[in-house]
Amino acid sequence: MSPIPLITRAEGYGDRTAVIASEGTFTYAQLLADSAAVAACLLEGAADLDEARVAFLTPGGYHYVATQWGVWRAGGVTVPLATSHPKPELAYMIEDSGATIVIAHPQYEDTLRELAEERGLRFLLTPDILETPPTAPLPDVDPNRRAMIIYTSGTTNRPKGVVSLHTTIEAQITSLVEAWGWSGDDHILHVLPLHHIHGIVNVLGCALWSGAVCDMLPAFDANAVWERIERGGLTLFMAVPTIYARLVQAWNAAPPERQAAMTRACAQLRLMVSGSAALPVQTLEEWEDISGHRLLERYGMTEIGMALSNPLVGERRPGYVGAPLPGVGLRLVDEDGHAAPEGSPGEIQVQGPAVFTEYWNKPEATASEFVDGWFKTGDVAVLEDGAYRILGRSSVDIIKTGGFKVSALEVEDVLREHPDIAECAVVAMEDLEWGERVCAALVLARNGALTLQQLRDWSRERLAPYKMPSRMIELTELPRNAMGKVVKPDLSKLFVEAEQQTQPTAG
């Protein structure tokens, strides 16, 4: 028996289907055999990789899963790379993690072979490692050892490597399995990137822990997702808000008979979940109209796993992320370090077995993010009638203007109700008079037109005066990262540039 919790469980699942992907359909027994082959290849006769970092890049599919398990079973630490990252980012993650082995799917061979060979690292291709006959016995990997380093998006600084132990991953998974009622009868469609906690833990990890089927698409494509839902058999779907928005668009673009079929097919699923960014109430409502599902919104972070979730059974309040998940210690702390009373905003702080151990090679950064054993998330929330509402990240979403604090997320939700606004993001801009100004970047609906004055006139009845945007720019699209999150620091720069262009030049 493997001492790695996720793998021990799989040993009991035998001939049940584990993964359906572009490479074929694979049982748990096959996955165990293939990951043992990967482990043997990585070990090259050694007894244990002893937490050597193995960076790997493959699209969503079976090669990803067999590689991840193979690295773990050989005693290594996985460093999943992002298919969306440019070469310098990949180079940074390989170097920062101190990876000694680099594995690529043939699709990424050119980029990664060069990066590995330039640095004298061992380079392997996924089809080859899956075919090594398992020779030596695999090591006994203590579950308290390091398992994975995930690089956080990093807004101002270089990304930091978030280290999880096998036991951390186990705690993150078991909390969700309990809260969302996962079982071996589940069948989930996986469309998320696999360098991020959402795709790695919430979808893949929970499915394999439960003996469920993980049906993997190599990347998100709205039509492919709809076709897969229509084909039937799925019970679960999890995605980020932008994916739901794209699925709504695709539904709207379909002819009426197909729309009816798409809607009918959604009824087969038992649960649809949204997270990793704020779910606009409008998207929640549109999705409910077309799919019949009230999305279950949850809140979490790479460093802590999932912390807050709406209930599986019971009321899911739009705009709220519910209550702490099983095993999660959570408190709200005000700026003076005191517990924030109900109704007052405070920083979310979390503790428990699902919280990460350290930022890789950054003891100072790790120490500064904890207070008395609580991890400081940097997110601000408020508790109202038993459910938490996220106000945003204190660094970019809490705008301090004229002595007031404004939640960018709250303003965004109001602006989205304007018929001419398709998408929007609100950021702060430094200002001598106000401290900070509320600035709105808008993507207008087709044929939409809006001036700042019109926006302010419309906002007057919906927002307090200090929450109304006083700067506006129009964009064709918002800058987003691979998870669909708006990159707010990039937006703030656009406002500064726009301001400079309107200033009269000296001389």
Binding site for ligand AMP (CB under 6 A): 152-153, 197, 275-278, 297, 299-302, 321, 377, 379, 390, 393, 483
Kindly tell me which of 103 and 238 has the beta carbon lying closer to ligand AMP. 238
Between β-strands 101-104 and 53-57, what pairing exists: parallel, antiparallel or unpaired?
parallel
- Closest distance between ligand AMP and the C-beta of residue 239, in Å? 12
- What three-state secondary structure class fits 474? strand
- Closest distance between ligand AMP and the C-beta of residue 428, in Å? 16
**Closest to 219 measured CA to CA, from 419, 79, 22:** 22
- Closest distance between ligand AMP and the C-beta of residue 372, in Å? 20
**Number of Cβ within a 10 Å radius of residue 118:** 10
**Closest to 158 measured CA to CA, from 393, 359, 370, 301:** 359
Q: What is d(CA 239, CA 250) in angstroms, rounded to the nearest whole number?
A: 15
Kindly tell me which of 129 and 204 has the beta carbon lying closer to ligand AMP. 204
- Closest distance between ligand AMP and the C-beta of residue 101, in Å? 26
Q: Give the largest CA-CA distance in the chain.
A: 78
- Closest distance between ligand AMP and the C-beta of residue 196, in Å? 6
- In the beta sheet, which residues pair with residue 26? 19
Kindly tell me which of 177 and 398 has the beta carbon lying closer to ligand AMP. 398
With contact defined as beta carbons under 8 Å apart, do 149 and 79 qualify?
Answer: yes
Kindly tell me which of 136 and 371 has the beta carbon lying closer to ligand AMP. 371
Locate 104 and state its tokens.
């690529």
Q: What is d(CA 239, CA 487) in angstroms, rounded to the nearest whole number?
A: 18
- Closest distance between ligand AMP and the C-beta of residue 18, in Å? 25
With contact defined as beta carbons under 8 Å apart, do 464 and 451 qualify?
Answer: no
Q: What is d(CA 27, CA 14) in angstroms, rounded to the nearest whole number?
A: 7
Q: What is d(CA 380, CA 346) in angstroms, rounded to the nearest whole number?
A: 5
Kindly tell me which of 138 and 330 has the beta carbon lying closer to ligand AMP. 330
Kindly tell me which of 16 and 416 has the beta carbon lying closer to ligand AMP. 416
Locate 330 and state its tokens.
């959570």
- Closest distance between ligand AMP and the C-beta of residue 409, in Å? 7
Give the chain's end-to-end CA distance (angstroms, integer). 78
Kindly tell me which of 78 and 377 has the beta carbon lying closer to ligand AMP. 377
Kindly tell me which of 10 and 149 has the beta carbon lying closer to ligand AMP. 149
- Closest distance between ligand AMP and the C-beta of residue 302, in Å? 4
Q: Hunting for tokens 């990876």 — which residue is that? A: 99
- Closest distance between ligand AMP and the C-beta of residue 379, in Å? 5
**Number of Cβ within a 10 Å radius of residue 319:** 17
**Number of Cβ within a 10 Å radius of residue 257:** 8
Could you tell me how far CA 414 lies from the centroid of its own chain? 24
With contact defined as beta carbons under 8 Å apart, do 322 and 316 qualify?
Answer: yes
- Closest distance between ligand AMP and the C-beta of residue 60, in Å? 17
Kindly tell me which of 211 and 280 has the beta carbon lying closer to ligand AMP. 280
The Cα-based distances of 348 to 318, 375, 449, 489 in angstroms read 20, 8, 39, 22
Kindly tell me which of 34 and 297 has the beta carbon lying closer to ligand AMP. 297
Kindly tell me which of 30 and 282 has the beta carbon lying closer to ligand AMP. 282
Q: What are phi and psi of 448, to 5 degrees?
A: -80, 155
**Closest to 80 measured CA to CA, from 202, 219, 194:** 194
**Closest to 240 measured CA to CA, from 453, 28, 481, 495:** 481
- What three-state secondary structure class fits 301? strand
- Closest distance between ligand AMP and the C-beta of residue 265, in Å? 26
